[in-house]
Amino acid sequence: MPVIAIIGAGPGLGAAVARRFGREGFSIALISRNQSKLDAMAAELNAGGVIARGYAADVRVPTALGEALARAAAELGPITALQYSPLPAREYLKPVLEMTPELALEALQFSALGLIHAVRAVLPAMREAGEGSIILINGGTSVKARADFAGTSVAFPAESAYGEMLHDALEGEGVRVAQLVIPGSIPKLQLVNGIDDVADRIWDLHAVAGPFRTMLIPLEDGRE
């Protein structure tokens, strides 16, 4: 069975994407910091007929993240799709005048460097198979900086730049790299089917080759 690893899996978008990919025959590797929460998510998905397992790791700790992805591949199979969507900490949303080098570095570790470590763990198998997808989920500060969200305004563009370069470098190899920008809190976006609409869009990014960046809604309509 194909496998999607969802880094930053939670009861909202992560669970919706797990259900959506599960309907397509995917097994699900759930990755976040809290093993007990992951086990509860996995149990709920398993009860619904989706094969899922949880692997605890902090994206800021490269060895832990690499080990989680390696265990997932060993237990479920080679990772076909990677979703990188850890939810930024509140500290990363401080005003720019409160930004410190330490906070900027942590935000970069969380977003850009975490993604790079994850990609290096899963990309060789994707390239060997000649198929796969790497999907970044970011907020509006990946497109336009905001002085009141200084950490993500520094880190998300770096993550985006790496993703766009990957998209260009892997074009033609069967490995798709895409970014979905969600400019606001999903419950506030007034989508017809709510979070399931977002999961459908993420499935489309996996299934169909296209441009690197997709906006869920226009940036100016966001409610961050």
Q: Give the tens place of pLDDT for each residue, 147-158.
A: 999 999 999 999
- Helical H segments across 24-173, by residue range: 35-47, 62-76, 101-108, 114-129, 150-170
Residue written as tokens 């190899």?
173
Q: Which of 70, 18, 21, 62 is nearest to 44 (CA)?
A: 18
Closest CA to 8 of 109, 90, 70, 84: 84
Confidence (pLDDT) at 86 = 96
217 — pLDDT class (breaks 50, 70, 90): confident
Amino acid in the structure at residue 69: L
Which DSSP category does 147 fall into?
T
pLDDT at 104: 95
Q: Is 23's pLDDT higher than 80?
A: yes
State yes or no: pLDDT of 224 exceeds 60.
Answer: no
Q: What is the pLDDT of residues 69-125, one digit of tens each?
A: 999 999 999 999 999 999 888 888 899 999 999 999 999 999 999 999 999 999 999
